[in-house]
Amino acid sequence: MFEYLFGVLTGVSANAVTKVIEALWGGNKAYAKEEETEVSEEKSEQEEKEDSRQFQTFHIKTGFESILNFVQEPIVHMVVESEPTTAWHLVILIVESRVTGEWYVSQKGEMAFEGSGGGLYVAEKVATICRNRRITTAGWVLSKEDSDSLARGIKTWPQLKINAIPLVSYSKNDYFIKYVAKKFQEVNT
């Protein structure tokens, strides 16, 4: 038993001494190169993810009205995910120009047609802004995967619009019909 403890303590102290020497002398170059390679690989993966992003998204609370101010004849698409990301089915806004065809996508997670808190409050506020400006709103459902790709700026609205199902006619389950679609209709009338 004593020999085992002596071996462990010797190993620990040797490792500590080695680290002190490496710190003073600049470390083991082979070890340093290995670390650099791992960091470079991690950066490459992150850069790759950023490179796949095609466009920036906007915050609904701070950017929605600004975008409405410069888009000609806007239509506001409210895109609901088919499967809930959190407790709720989250919504993405797309502001699209009927004149130029340009479109702008919001971030996901600020708006919902469920619950009684912040997400629903934002939905009501967006609907009120659209009503006051006489802007047409349209509700759509996209698969969770497609809505995630859209919200991350990886796939564009024109690519995914063909997969969208009108929200009021979406009938995957009773909960969606009774709560999400119903609340969308209430908020937008």
- According to the model, what pLDDT value does residue 12 have? 41
Tell me the C-alpha distance between 150 and 139, whole Å.
Answer: 15
Cα-based torsion angle of the residue sequence 107, 163, 77, 181 in order, rounded to the nearest 10 degrees: -100
Residues 6+ away with beta carbon under 8 Å from 80: 89, 90, 91, 113, 139, 140, 141, 142, 147, 167, 180, 184
- According to the model, what pLDDT value does residue 189 have? 87
As a whole number, mean pLDDT of residues 49-73 equals 88
Where exactly does CATH 3.40.1530 map onto the chain?
A: 60-187
Mind listing the pLDDT tens digit for each residue in 92-133? 999 999 999 999 999 999 999 998 889 999 999 999 999 999
Mind listing the pLDDT tens digit for each residue in 138-181? 999 999 999 999 999 999 999 999 999 999 999 888 888 889 99
> What fold is seen in the domain 60-187?
hypothetical protein tt1805 (3.40.1530)
pLDDT tops 80 at residue 48: no
Tell me the C-alpha distance between 125 and 132, whole Å.
Answer: 11
- According to the model, what pLDDT value does residue 4 have? 41
Mind listing the pLDDT tens digit for each residue in 11-37? 444 444 444 434 444 444 444 444 444
Tell me the C-alpha distance between 47 and 3, whole Å.
Answer: 50
- What Cα–Cα distance (Å) separates residue 67 from each residue in 60, 78, 96, 113, 135? 10, 15, 10, 22, 13
- According to the model, what pLDDT value does residue 53 have? 81
